[in-house]
Structure 1
Amino acid sequence: MVRRTGSICTLLALLAFLLWAPVSTAAANTSGSPEREAAACGVLAPGASAAAERAIAAACAEVAAGTWYTWGGGHGARPGATYGQVDPTDPDSEHDPERLGFDCSGLVRHAYAVAAGSDILNGDASSQYYTHRAAGRFTAAQGLATLVPGDLLAWGTSRDLHHIAIYLGAGKMVEAKESGTRLMVSDVRLNGDYFGALRVNTGQVTGHIHQTWGTGVWTKAEPSTAATRVYAFPGSTTIRVQCQKHAELVTAEGYTNDAWSYLPDYKAWMTNIYIKGPAWLEGVPECTTQTPTQKQAQAQARTQAQALQPALMRSL
């Protein structure tokens, strides 16, 4: 009798395990499900504009739909999900041409097109970060304290920003992260090469708006061809010009010009040769005050001079 009771207990335990195992496996598989991701996606802090809230809602709708990351996705003639491409450097992208989805900048483009009612952020992560539609910019050193939901977060360097995402608040963001994953909500990654953030102006743009021409045209830290390179325009780009000045004479593309324009969104200079219009841009004021770049250089010089002063005094 004891032996028979033991057998029954063993069978009951085995049956319980068999019934439990599929449920447990299913629960584990839902940990990254669209339903769970969508539940965490939304405006998670105060301060967002109505347009920013619409952008977040559009991105979160794609999360809820279980939309895939696809390399190059979202960069069709119009905003919206497209089939991706194979990234030669990423084996995980082999199925991207079979999947309808977005890459990081494709998602941002789609979200803000829905928010604004027009295609205001067409381009890659760099062109989106340096948009003339920036209502505010924030450095990596400022962290998240100054940000509100809807701000765009960027990673990389001034020459190459390789990733962009939409801030939700409370240290969270919605992003198209990498091939082989679906759109997701993530903790903001402030380590590594986090570059900074910007707030998007979906309304009317103020300032002197111009268009560049040419490909691979570099902006410079100072109005000189020998100055440090800041960022290269991959093609024709809409820019905001703050002011212009006469500086180094440049000959390129069959033109010669000594006029340079200061671009506040890049904190950099560009020869007027590559800005569509006359050699001296109409309506743009001359740079009569120091730009932020020049002020920073002078501040560094003053700091160095102050550091050297005690040593110089001791040598007298």
Structure 2
Amino acid sequence: MTTPPTRRTGSARRRSRPLAALLPAVLLTAALTVPAAGAPAPAPTPASAETCAPLAPGASALAEGAVAAACQEVAAGTWYTWGGGHGPRPGPTYGQVDPDDPASAHDPERLGFDCSGLVRHAYARAAGADILDGAAAVQHYTHRTATRFTAADGLAPLLPGDLLAWGTSARLHHIAVYLGKGRMVEARQSGTRIMVSDVRLGGDYFGAVRITTGPVDGRLFRTWGSGVWTKARPALAAARVYAFPGPTTVRVACQTHAEPVTAEGYTNDAWSYLPDYRAWVTNIYLQGPAWLPDVPACP
């Protein structure tokens, strides 16, 4: 096994799937051409650009810029394509075949985005930097969060540009950009184009986050390894919350001495609280010394 950067790694497993795809501006006339024999029927004509815009006041310039970038893809008739938008840089890419979705058979032929690819592209255009790389869960749990909302909060406190997520704490599978007034822009599924939809609050709607590029409250550290689980309490037997699919930048609020953990030949009783995940992780899985520098002890 590879020697850790400063020590340690995790061992649990988790499959990470990209979730949303997007295509650079294409002409609506091209979107309406007759498909070749054997190709699926074209999706309905995209909604007009006028239906996709911030529908409420109060959003930041960053959020409004992200809405504008996502809405450009609605106006362009950009396809959803599974895995699209996850290239080395933000922007549309050709998709992949999702083994669980027969409708994705033509995704490798379509330049576009999946759900998280669209979010990545939209905020990169607005911020001028690739601030939300990764799949839906990584984007929802980003350390660049200004405010978090649970499903119980509903839509009342949300502003245009907030990111809506669906799934569970262990696996978030979809993410979209809120417009206001119960509407959102999303890359939903194979065989459809980037669209404006009603927010689906039922089922497994998980909550929302508001993105900021301002100062981060807390210290940032990097996990390493793959499948590193966070826990509901600083204990090995505690409920699992979320597993990092790979090295991830996390915000640490505080740390405490709790149950000792032994992994990769190291033993440590220090655990860190990650406010974005509302969960704990043993310091063995964080790059740095056993007791993290400049991080306060938890009350």
| Fold shared, TM-score > 0.5 on shorter chain | yes
Q: TM-score normalised to the size of structure 2?
A: 0.85
Gap change, CA 1:75 and 1:143, over 3 Å in 2: same
Correspondence for 1:14: none
The structure with more radius of gyration: 1
CA distances 1:95-139 after superposition (whole Å, capped 9, x unpaired): 000000000000000000111111110000001000011100001
Correspondence for 2:184: 173
1:106-121 paired onto structure 2 within 5 Å: 106-121=117-132
Give the Cα separation in 1 of the matches to 2:264 and 2:88.
Answer: 30
Correspondence for 2:147: 136
Kept in 2, the 8 Å contact 1:45–1:169? The answer is: yes
Q: Does 1:127 align with 2:145?
A: no
Equivalent position amino acid for 1:99 in 2: R
Give the Cα separation in 2 of the matches to 1:181 and 1:204.
Answer: 38
How far does residue 30 in structure 1 lie from its aligned partner after superposition?
11
Give the Cα separation in 1 of the matches to 2:171 and 2:280.
Answer: 17
How far does residue 253 in structure 1 lie from its aligned partner after superposition?
1.6
SS at match of 2:106: helix
Correspondence for 1:275: 286
Q: Highest relative contact order (Cα 8 Å, sep 6+), 1 or 2?
A: 2
SS at match of 1:95: helix
Match of 2:257 among 246, 267, 291: 246
Correspondence for 2:245: 234
Q: TM-score normalised to the size of structure 1?
A: 0.80
Give structure 1 stretches of 5+ with no counterpart: 1-28, 289-316
Runs of 4+ in 1 over 2 A off after TM superposition: 29-32, 36-39, 202-206
Correspondence for 2:159: 148
Q: Does 1:56 align with 2:80?
A: no
SS at match of 1:224: coil
What value does the CA root-mean-square deviation take over the aligned residues? Answer: 1.4
Correspondence for 2:194: 183
CA distances 1:135-158 after superposition (whole Å, capped 9, x unpaired): 000010111000000000000000
How far does residue 51 in structure 1 lie from its aligned partner after superposition?
0.6
Correspondence for 1:24: none
SS at match of 1:199: strand
CA distances 1:37-70 after superposition (whole Å, capped 9, x unpaired): 4221001111110010100000001111111000
Match of 1:264 among 256, 262, 275: 275
Equivalent position amino acid for 1:270 in 2: V
Kept in 1, the 8 Å contact 2:43–2:192? The answer is: no
Correspondence for 1:33: 45
Number of residues of Structure 1 aligned to a counterpart in Structure 2: 259
Give the Cα separation in 2 of the matches to 1:161 and 1:114.
Answer: 24
Equivalent position amino acid for 1:127 in 2: V
Equivalent position amino acid for 1:71 in 2: W
Kept in 2, the 8 Å contact 1:166–1:174? The answer is: yes
Give the Cα separation in 1 of the matches to 2:263 and 2:214.
Answer: 36
Q: Does 1:94 align with 2:94?
A: no
SS at match of 1:63: helix
Equivalent position amino acid for 1:267 in 2: R
Kept in 2, the 8 Å contact 1:37–1:184? The answer is: no
Give the Cα separation in 2 of the matches to 1:270 and 1:129.
Answer: 18
How far does residue 255 in structure 1 lie from its aligned partner after superposition?
1.2
Kept in 1, the 8 Å contact 2:255–2:270? The answer is: yes
Give the Cα separation in 1 of the matches to 2:124 and 2:85.
Answer: 11
Kept in 1, the 8 Å contact 2:85–2:117? The answer is: yes
Identity %: 74
Gap change, CA 1:31 and 1:251, over 3 Å in 2: closer
SS at match of 2:190: coil
Give the Cα separation in 1 of the matches to 2:185 and 2:88.
Answer: 24
